[in-house]
Amino acid sequence: MVRKTRKIKDKWKEKKWITVLAPDSFNNIPVAYIPITDDKNAVGRVIEVTLFDILKGDPSQHQYKIFFQINKVSGEKATTIFKRYEYSKEFLRSLIRRGSSRINFSIDAKTKDGHIFRIKILTLSHRELNTSRKRALRLEAKKQIEKIVPHMTIDEFAQAACYGKISSDIMATTKKIIRVRHVGLEKVKLLRTSEEEITLLQA
């Protein structure tokens, strides 16, 4: 009896390779070359890079992680939206010191074009701070976010968040209260796109 040999499908041959591009705010530079099974399933996939991969500048930029989400595949290329930004765990650990206060604060903010982000701000002092000073720093950070973000598009916000502009603005204004050692956006996360927000409001 002759046994029939089954053909084994080569899954890799069935996949197509696409170049993933960063959003407009990062000059649409290629950030990944990945295999996909089909265009539809690729949408929603998240690509992780570092700020160094974007700017190719100072090696310390490796400590800032950026996440892009594929929103459209066209031929051999995929476009993305800004999804998340955060400090690497190693960088965060290196910032924490004994004898100083760590002030965390989270706020949700909507960009001019309707995208909603959750922003986690980290402030580190030179020495231990009392409760009233901590509260004053949080209020000042909140005031700055509410003043800045609603006037920005998602592209402007992504640049300002990842390139340190928002952190610098908060640092400058907190000097009125006390000189701090570090102010930064520890984590920025897209909660809802403008399209998702419209759908939610219409429900």
Total of domains in the chain:
2
**Angle at Cα 143 formed by Cα 141 and Cα 144, nearest 5°?**
65
Residues 63 and 119 in one domain: no
User: Domain range for residue 170?
Assistant: 99-202
Q: Are 43 and 120 contained in the same domain?
A: no
In a domain, 20, yes or no: yes
Q: What is the pTM of this model?
A: 0.88
Query: For 56, phi and psi rounded to 5 degrees?
Result: 55, 40
> pLDDT 10s digit of each residue in the chain, 203 long?
555 555 555 565 678 999 999 999 999 999 999 999 999 989 999 999 999 999 988 899 999 999 999 999 999 999 999 999 999 999 999 998 888 899 999 999 999 999 999 999 999 999 999 999 999 999 999 999 999 999 999 999 999 999 999 999 999 999 888 899 999 999 999 999 888 767 766 65
Decide if 181 is inside a domain.
yes
Cβ(73)–Cβ(42) under 8 Å? yes
Asked if 153 and 186 sit in the same domain, the reply is yes
Structural domain ending residue among the three candidates 64, 87, 110: 87
> Three-class SS of residue 147?
helix
